[in-house]
C-alpha cells in the first residue's frame, strides 16, 4: 500500500437550501491537512485529498480516514491539528467529532 492512511475531505457543492461541505470550507480543510502533514514530514505516508459527497451533508464539513473508515463531522480548521496528532499520528479517533 502506498499510503498508511488516507484522508478524504468532502468538497462537494450542492444547490441551496441543502448544506454542503464545499461551501463550508471543504477545500480549506484539504489544504490545511496537506500543509499540516507536510510540516511533519508525513505527506509521503499519509495522503489528504478532496472527495465528492460522503453523504453526511447535514453533519458537514465531513471527512473520512482510511483504512479505519472513521467518519468525522462538523470539522473546522481548528480541528485539523488535533485530528493529525491524535488520529493520524497517534491512531486514536477524535471522539467528539466522530459520526456514529
CATH superfamily placement of domain 5-97: Glutaredoxin (3.40.30.10)
Q: Quote the pLDDT of residue 23.
A: 73
Q: Quote the pLDDT of residue 6.
A: 98
Under a CB-based contact definition with an 8 Å cutoff, are residues 65 and 72 in contact?
Answer: yes
Give the pLDDT confidence of 20-57 residue by residue, as tens digits: 777 778 899 999 999 999 999 999 999 999 999 999 98
For β-strands 63-66 and 5-10, DSSP reports them as antiparallel
Q: Quote the pLDDT of residue 15.
A: 73
Which are the contacts of 28, defined by CB distance < 8 A and separation ≥ 6? 77
Q: Which three cell numbers stand for residue 82?
A: 488535533
Residue in the block written with cell 463531522: 73
Q: Where are the beta strands (DSSP E) in the chain?
A: 5-10, 46-51, 63-66, 70-72
Domain ranges within the chain, ordered by starting residue: 5-97
Q: Quote the pLDDT of residue 3.
A: 95
HSE of 97 in the Cβ direction (CA atoms, 13 Å)?
A: 24
Give the pLDDT confidence of 53-98 residue by residue, as tens digits: 999 988 989 999 999 999 999 999 999 999 999 999 999 999 999 9
Distance CA 11, CA 64 (A): 12
Q: Quote the pLDDT of residue 16.
A: 65
Amino acid at each position: 500500500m502506498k499510503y498508511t492512511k488516507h484522508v478524504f475531505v468532502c468538497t462537494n457543492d450542492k444547490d441551496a437550501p441543502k448544506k454542503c461541505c464545499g461551501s463550508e470550507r471543504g477545500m480549506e480543510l484539504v489544504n490545511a491537512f496537506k500543509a499540516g502533514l507536510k510540516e511533519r514530514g508525513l505527506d509521503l505516508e499519509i495522503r489528504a485529498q478532496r472527495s465528492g459527497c460522503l453523504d453526511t451533508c447535514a453533519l458537514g464539513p465531513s471527512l473520512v480516514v482510511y483504512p479505519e473508515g472513521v467518519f468525522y463531522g462538523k470539522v473546522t480548521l481548528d480541528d485539523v491539528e488535533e485530528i493529525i496528532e491524535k488520529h493520524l499520528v497517534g491512531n486514536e479517533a477524535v471522539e467528539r467529532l466522530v459520526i456514529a
